[in-house]
Structure 1
Amino acid sequence: MNSAILAVIWGGVALAYRDFYAARHWMAGSLLTCIGAFLLILQYSIGGAFPAVAGNFLIIAGFWLFYTGLLAFYGIKIRSILLQLVVIMSISLFSALAEYSNWLWLAAVHGLTYLAALVCMFVFLAARRHKSPGAYVCLVAVFLGVGCQIYNLYLTFRISAKDIDVSYFLTLYAYNFLVMQFSAGLLTFGFFILTIDALRKEVERLAGVDDLTGLPTRKRFNAVLNLADQQFKERDIPYALLLIDVDHFKSFNDDMGHRAGDVILQHFGKTVSSLLKVRQIMSRHGGDEFCILLPASTKEQAETLAKRIKEKLSALPITVDAKPIFVTVSIGIALRNSETTVSQEADIFDEADKALYQVKRNGRDGYEFYHAAFEHAE
């Protein structure tokens, strides 16, 4: 019943979030354990070895799917691993069928295969450098499961050696089974915590991303800019700010429609983003205005990027309604380094905007660095 309920829940999650592939694995794993448990119940009514072999096989396969679900959750490709699991489960099945009438043999084979799945999960989770609360819950659950399976194998060895009788074995196994069920429930709870945390992070990410271009929002950009400014004031680490306008963007919107304008903005965002290095961030601040922050960068590096932006845009026209459009931009650049004299009231955005205004006065399609003379320009 627990497995059936979990299969329905994970199925709902998989339907609601089609790209959340881990939920599909956990749904399939829960479904297999549900069917396997049902077959184990049937063994008491129909007899024979088939229900026991098939039931345990499906339950173990379900736990292997829990493991592949973890891999999928952390973005690890599992195609080759699935092939390995097919081999493992095939060996387990043929080994069980070799002595299917010997229940001690079946218990040993199933226990070892189950233990292998749990150990793989434990090693994988323990190796993660950054663990969320859900990962710690899963680790505890898997640790309990490993302990239970080792104890089951120990009991199987004891009874096969005739150190204990069957009734005593079944009593100990029953208590151990309760702990196993607790660990399985705890593992699923850990999966839910992992899922909730992942969805929360996705919501936070979407809240900090512009809907049209996929670039960071102004709020997120400002947080990084404040950090760069703090590092400049405290440790004299330079940085540069580029303020960019798409030239004649209003004309594109008026002549070709807003859809064409959206395509141009998306093209610009994608093209320029491909030029940025690690830690460099670009944001859409509204309309056709974009900002780029270059932490720990010199004047020469800022100028090099401005030139590359112009060159790449001129080399990559965008096609709108079968018409090639070459996009040009105006770029205003403001710097913070040891050579700049900055007052407490100075605003780097204001400085970049004045440099941008100077580019527009000069005919657009260019870049300009801010300098104090702009303060007195008409």
Structure 2
Amino acid sequence: MLQLDVKTIYFLVGLFATTTGLVLFALSTTGRFDRWLKYWGISNIATGSGILLLTFRDIIPDFYSIVLANMLAIIGYYLLMATTQRLYHRRRIAVKPHLLFLGILTVLFILMRDADSYYAERTVLTALTCGFYAYCVAKSTLRIARKEDITSAYLVSGIFTVATVVFAMRAIAGLTHHLGGDSVFASGGVNMWTILLAAIIGPLWNMSMLLMIMERINRNWIGRALRDPLTSALNREGLKAAIENNSMRRQSDAHPVTALLLVDIDHFKQVNDKLGHAFGDQLLCTFADIVHHQLRSSDLFARQGGDEFVIILPASGEKEAQDVAERLQNSFAHATEKLKQDGLSITLSIGIAVAASDQIAHSLNSLMEQADSALYQSKHHGRNRITSAQAA
């Protein structure tokens, strides 16, 4: 019967991580993915290579099997953290503090490179550092799960939370000298359990990361199909899909009414004729930015076509809709103040309609007609007005 010792388990874990990293890195060279895939691949290669070097302890110089092995494993976790933070923030993280920290760690490992000494101290340093980076991954993926409603990101966050706990246990065991032996290949105590858990967690987090990223890509592609490419507002199909979404129904069910605003930019044709279509597009984007800053996360914003937009305010009545409309008019007037120098008075005409929340999905067309009639009254009575369907 085949029996695996600790060194063999380490070797298999390192081999799996390295192979996975090479596959991911190869995929990143196709140009179909963002840089995060390359970072993820390199992180696996670094961690796997470090673990593989570890298994050659007493065969190769201690510098390679201790200093380089530990630092490669730590750098792998750092790159994984950088990958997830880039996925969440979509910007680069501060590199210099981490490079300084990693440089200090390298010096410490060089000073403690004797294989027969400092085993517990090296274990504590590696466990604390990798545990910190695992915690950062768990935190970033939890934010992705909550902000973007990606189910698989909860799984990734859970797995890295477990990894954080495992590293914390290993660090405590090192501090209290309860690792179960005086070597990384000792077959008892906490040392044995942590490497077995690593053998399980490693493949799991790579598979869960892949699920999260594929779900995210799928959401992005669907989102692009349902959004106006110029303003990032929903298009007509996107508005319909959002209204039918369960999350909106849950919010609407708890409140009796929902308001709809139909907004039109006054004299928009004059802007295109006098300043050009490029400036007109810029004006539409300016309006969209104002709306995005004014609305709640539960509100819906869609472009009907041209310079006409729809805003749906769940759990809001006529008064709340009037308040939102006035804020939009004031903000837009401030943003277009300079256009008066060109003889253009660009304002907003708005029509408001209110309906029962539980009827929105079934009566959207009727509600749009009511708001359109109110908008017509705003236009007819001199523009730059807010008219309610109740008074139209």
Paired residue for 1:203, among 194, 218, 221? 221
Give 1:71 deviation, angstroms: 4.3
Structure 1: which amino acid aligns with 2:75?
A
Q: Which residue of 1 aligns with 2:378?
A: 359
Q: Deviations over 1:261-298 (max 9, x none)?
A: 32222222223433334533321111221112223333
Q: Which residue of 2 aligns with 1:49?
A: 62
Query: How many angstroms apart in 2 are the aligned matches of 1:168 and 1:263?
Result: 66
Between the two proteins, the alignment pairs up a number of residues equal to 357
Query: How many angstroms apart in 2 are the aligned matches of 1:194 and 1:122?
Result: 16
Paired residue for 2:309, among 278, 290, 293? 290
TM-score (norm 1): 0.71
Look at both structures and tell me which one has the larger radius of gyration over its CA atoms: 1
Q: Deviations over 1:142-194 (max 9, x none)?
A: 857938x9499799955549xxxx99869xx9998687455433332232222
Check if 1:116 corresponds to 2:128: yes
2:76 is paired with a residue whose SS is: helix
Q: Is the 8 A contact 1:264 1:318 kept in 2?
A: no
Which has the larger displacement, 237-246 or 184-193?
A: 184-193
Q: Which residue of 2 aligns with 1:186?
A: 204
Identity of aligned residues (%): 23
Check if 1:220 corresponds to 2:235: no
Q: Deviations over 1:83-118 (max 9, x none)?
A: 36843x4565444433433x2435434433333245
Q: Deviations over 1:173-218 (max 9, x none)?
A: 9998687455433332232222212222222332332101111222
Query: How many angstroms apart in 2 are the aligned matches of 1:150 and 1:174?
Result: 10
Which has the larger displacement, 192-201 or 71-80?
A: 71-80
Q: Is the 8 A contact 1:247 1:329 kept in 2?
A: yes
Paired residue for 1:9, among 24, 32, 45? 24
Query: How many angstroms apart in 1 are the aligned matches of 2:383 and 2:331?
Result: 17
Check if 1:307 corresponds to 2:326: yes
Superposition pairs of residues 21-60 of structure 1, within 5 angstroms: 21=36, 23=37, 25-33=39-47, 36=50, 47-52=60-65, 53-60=67-74
Structure 1: which amino acid aligns with 2:227?
V
Q: Is the 8 A contact 1:243 1:356 kept in 2?
A: yes
Q: Which residue of 2 aligns with 1:267?
A: 286
1:347 is paired with a residue whose SS is: helix
Cα 1:193–1:366 shift into 2, 3 Å: same
Cα 1:312–1:224 shift into 2, 3 Å: same
Structure 1: which amino acid aligns with 2:97?
L
Query: How many angstroms apart in 2 are the aligned matches of 1:277 and 1:158?
Result: 55
**Unpaired runs of at least 5, structure 1:** 339-343
Q: Which residue of 2 aligns with 1:341?
A: none
Query: How many angstroms apart in 2 are the aligned matches of 1:167 and 1:315?
Result: 69
Q: Deviations over 1:103-143 (max 9, x none)?
A: 24354344333332453366557774858435536755885
1:333 is paired with a residue whose SS is: strand
Q: Which residue of 2 aligns with 1:246?
A: 265
Query: How many angstroms apart in 2 are the aligned matches of 1:345 and 1:91?
Result: 62
Cα RMSD of the aligned pairs, angstroms, is 4.8
1:26 is paired with a residue whose SS is: helix
Q: Deviations over 1:221-271 (max 9, x none)?
A: 345556899789966622322112222333444455433332222222223
Paired residue for 1:62, among 72, 76, 89? 76
Q: Is the 8 A contact 2:137 2:160 kept in 1?
A: no
Q: Which residue of 2 aligns with 1:98?
A: 111
Give 1:359 deviation, angstroms: 2.4
Query: How many angstroms apart in 2 are the aligned matches of 1:39 and 1:234?
Result: 59
Structure 2: which amino acid aligns with 1:355?
A
Q: Is the 8 A contact 1:134 1:192 kept in 2?
A: no
2:349 is paired with a residue whose SS is: strand
Cα 1:363–1:150 shift into 2, 3 Å: closer
**Unpaired runs of at least 5, structure 2:** 1-14, 358-362
TM-score (norm 2): 0.69
Cα 1:39–1:314 shift into 2, 3 Å: same
Q: Is the 8 A contact 1:96 1:106 kept in 2?
A: no
